[in-house]
Amino acid sequence: MSASKSVRLIVGLGNPGREYEETRHNVGAWYVEALARQQGVRLNEDKKYFGLTGQCEVNGESVRLLIPTTYMNRSGQATSALANFFKIPVDQILVAHDELDLPPGTARLKIGGGHGGHNGLRDIVSSHGNQKDFSRLRIGIGHPGAAHLVTPHVLNKPSAVDRDKIERAIDEALSYSGDIFRGEIGKAMNNLNGFKA
């Protein structure tokens, strides 16, 4: 993504329903909820885009916010519906998601890459014609230590200590919203990637 290409769609991944909203798998959705509050945006359900959506104006450009209301493994249904309708190219999308390979209290930005086994990212890549060059905000949730523990780990609530660390990492990411909106991902990356709560 070049510096001149602003971000026009920011997506926060999670699972729908009250039973999932406080779980680790939903930290991407927490970020977009916090971003909406920061920008004074109200998120409303829009069945056409399979998610909660809102928009704000940044430097004269419309930026769309989206939290899919599909299950995680169908996230691409929502992102492709909205991006196709508003003609938003993949390289102007930022996806916020939980990251097992980072400890709680860290958040990292990156441009492009594989799905790393993340079902939400896998479906987004597939739904956008296998294009992978969207940006990602990887919010650390830590790894439980063994592969068979991953599913219960992501589908359970973090401890109070870890929740506090995750929220501090999200707050830190929010402080670079201006850079992210402008597409200055490299600048935001350099600042954010050294942070640890």
CATH number, domain containing residue 49: 3.40.50.1470
Least reliable range by pLDDT among 54-58, 75-79, 88-92: 54-58
Q: Choose the catalytic residue: 25, 97, 118, 128.
A: 25
The reply to whether 97 belongs to the active site is: no
Pairwise CA distance, residues 87 & 126, whole Å: 18
Residue 93 lies in a domain: yes
Residue 150 lies in a domain: yes
* 105-142 CB burial, b ≥16 within 10 A, e <16: bbbbbeeeeebeebbbbbbbbebbeeebebbbbbbbbb
Give me the helices (H) in 21-159, please.
27-39, 75-85, 119-127, 150-154
Residue 4 lies in a domain: no
pLDDT in tens, 147-161: 999 999 999 999 999
Please state the pTM of the whole predicted model. 0.95
Total domains in the fold of the chain: 1
Residue 3 lies in a domain: no
Residue 197 lies in a domain: no
* 39-59 CB burial, b ≥16 within 10 A, e <16: bebebeebeebbbbbbbbebe
What is the per-residue pLDDT for 60? 83
Q: What percent of the chain has pLDDT over 70?
A: 98
Q: What is the DSSP letter of 165?
A: H
Residue 38 lies in a domain: yes
What domain range includes position 148?
9-192
